[in-house]
A and B are shown apart, each in its own frame.
Chain A
């Protein structure tokens, strides 16, 4: 059983970090484009709570939450997304390429669906080495239209790899409703490959955590891949600044009804956790995010001379 207060803390950090990024983006302190996962925190927190230090995961373009739930250092995270020298990837990648290889976090990805075969290879590495480790591939419902997903599930099933395919089903494929683009039901997809499928309410982080833990246990027993579908809600646009003209304001107006943090908070209070303790956690998340941003603002931009040497390993000798 995952610790519900720990899940709450992780979700708070993700939420505060992403709301801060939205402000920084609006103030032109974040270059490029960013894709926020506000509203989807329950999935990242719940799934990552089921992983051990030797496990690996592959993320998506909407991946800040996955990195934070995996424990990435906030300063290195913000520095990367803000393009500063202390970025965990030295400012070479930005929001869509945040990786923390030391934590088995093999990168967000700018290509929809491309993370799945990479996760397949990481799961293959676990199997070849006999580590008992598992790999999570996060993907969105829109990515089901990509061939890479189908090759991945087939190969994982043929080889019985320890691969947990987690679909964050938010109903949107970039600017389009995913049901206008994907004819497939995830349960039928998994069944077609003889792979177990489970579905969970992504707003309920504790339920996600428990379901993911069951799936991971099956993977560690060598039972082959597993498809976990988490229904969730994308509160914001495809990217920050997306005017969302394609979206019914009625839907976006009711997002607070689908808030994993509010759900978690209510449950914690009902379980007897003192309001004051939750407020301490809330302040701690705000403080940690603010401190990271202050540190990043003091950093110089990445060094061009060093960056030019970065495409290949240094020559030996």
Chain B
């Protein structure tokens, strides 16, 4: 079985969903005839037609608003927002409409749309095309948020998101779109809410998601050379997140470092650190440390962006610091 790039794994999940369920439709800017800005929807319009794989105008509020109405009407819309930065234009539809629908209308039926959108830097895309805004969405009751780090998880989480009865935001990392990985002949859906054990280790737990998983794996290798065995968990689901997996790992390692590409302040790591301090305090033998971006817009120039982004060395240094 050849390896797939992350975009190919996403395309495969979408193609299967379109084949399996006539209620699934895709909508987004240039996803059809152009095949998607990153190629993740290539060939789907040819196969499933322009009705179900629908090119939209440059109207983010309209795209997500329409997805809400279509979902309330029983379709399973999978909307794409070309860059995560552009969700600002669709926040009413996402936050006030999609997230609230089930609760606000009494709990029987929600707006089970899927919103795919890429976050992350590393490609000199600058301040308006690089942001990691997932913490905003994790803060909104009614939304689920996932962020795969591998092709097989990109496939499996997207399949679960499409099958989910509630709105799910699938955050893809644009620097990982070309990443290759084994997906298998008959891959399975990855249930939302479960972390992935990437690497075992007895000394410290590194919790990461998205592009930070790769950096953390490199950090664990660096540490291993120095006799420190770090366990690596890929969070995969940010809302809900896998408290049990983190607690279970912590019960063995007693040290926790959280790494993500997003800004550190008020981020996903802040919530996890606070929660673990509440429910896992007795297992902690050192401070919970975060490795994340500074409180600054993502800069453009290569050297500036390289300085801005967390990396393996900083994650390894944090592990050594909490063990000290």
Contact = CB atoms under 8 A, between A and B. Distances in A.
A154 B72 CA distance: 21
A312 B98 CA distance: 11
A154 B59 contact: yes
Interface string B243-278: 000000000000000000000000000000000000
B66 A121 contact: yes
A276 interface: no
Interface string B207-243: 0000000000000000000000000000000000000
A234 to B, nearest CB: 24
Contact of A124 (B66, B101, B107): B66
Contact of A311 (B66, B93, B109, B141): B141
Nearest to B98: A118
A121 B56 CA distance: 12
B121 interface: no
A292 interface: no
Interface string B196-216: 000000000000000000000
Interface in A132-171: 135, 147-148, 151-152, 154-155, 158-159
B2 interface: no
A93 interface: yes
A314 B100 CA distance: 16
A296 interface: no
A311 B142 contact: yes
Interface in A24-82: 56, 58
B68 A121 contact: yes
B83 to A, nearest CB: 18
Interface string B23-58: 001000000000000000000000000011010110
B67 A121 contact: yes
A147 B144 CA distance: 27
B19 interface: no
Contact of B106 (A56, A93, A127): A93
Interface in A192-209: none
Contacts of A114: 65, 92-93, 96-97
B61 A147 contact: yes
Most buried by B among A87, A90, A117, A135: A117
A54 to B, nearest CB: 11
B55 to A, nearest CB: 10
Contacts of A119: 69
A120 interface: yes
B260 to A, nearest CB: 24
A158 B57 CA distance: 9
B136 interface: no
Contact of B68 (A97, A118, A147, A309): A118
A299 to B, nearest CB: 14
Contact of B57 (A101, A118, A154): A154
Contacts of B100: 97
A125 B75 contact: yes
Given A116-B65, A151-B62, A155-B56, A121 B106 contact: no
Q: What class of interface size applies to chain A in its complex with B? A: 35 or more
Given A92-B105, A309-B107, A121 B72 contact: yes
Given A121-B67, A125-B74, A311-B142, A148 B103 contact: no
Contacts of B67: 121
A260 interface: no
Contacts of A311: 102-103, 141-142
A120 B75 contact: no
A81 to B, nearest CB: 13
A135 B100 CA distance: 21
A143 to B, nearest CB: 13
Contacts of B56: 155
Interface in A232-270: none
Contacts of B54: 159
A132 to B, nearest CB: 14
A14 interface: no
Given A92-B107, A128-B51, A312-B166, A155 B59 contact: yes
A56 B96 contact: no
A148 B60 CA distance: 10
Nearest to B101: A107
Contacts of B97: 109, 111, 114, 118
A310 B107 contact: yes
Given A110-B96, A312-B142, A92 B103 contact: yes
27 contacts: A90-B106, A101-B109, A107-B105, A114-B65, A114-B96, A117-B93, A118-B65, A118-B97, A121-B68, A121-B73, A124-B69, A125-B70, A125-B73, A125-B75, A128-B70, A128-B75, A135-B69, A148-B61, A148-B65, A148-B92, A151-B59, A152-B65, A154-B59, A154-B62, A155-B56, A159-B54, A312-B142
Given A90-B106, A151-B59, A151-B65, 16 more contacts: A92-B105, A92-B107, A99-B104, A114-B92, A117-B68, A121-B68, A121-B69, A128-B52, A135-B69, A148-B92, A151-B57, A152-B62, A158-B57, A310-B107, A311-B103, A312-B166
Interface of A: 56, 58, 87-90, 92-93, 97, 99, 101, 106-107, 109-111, 114, 116-129, 135, 147-148, 151-152, 154-155, 158-159, 306, 309-313
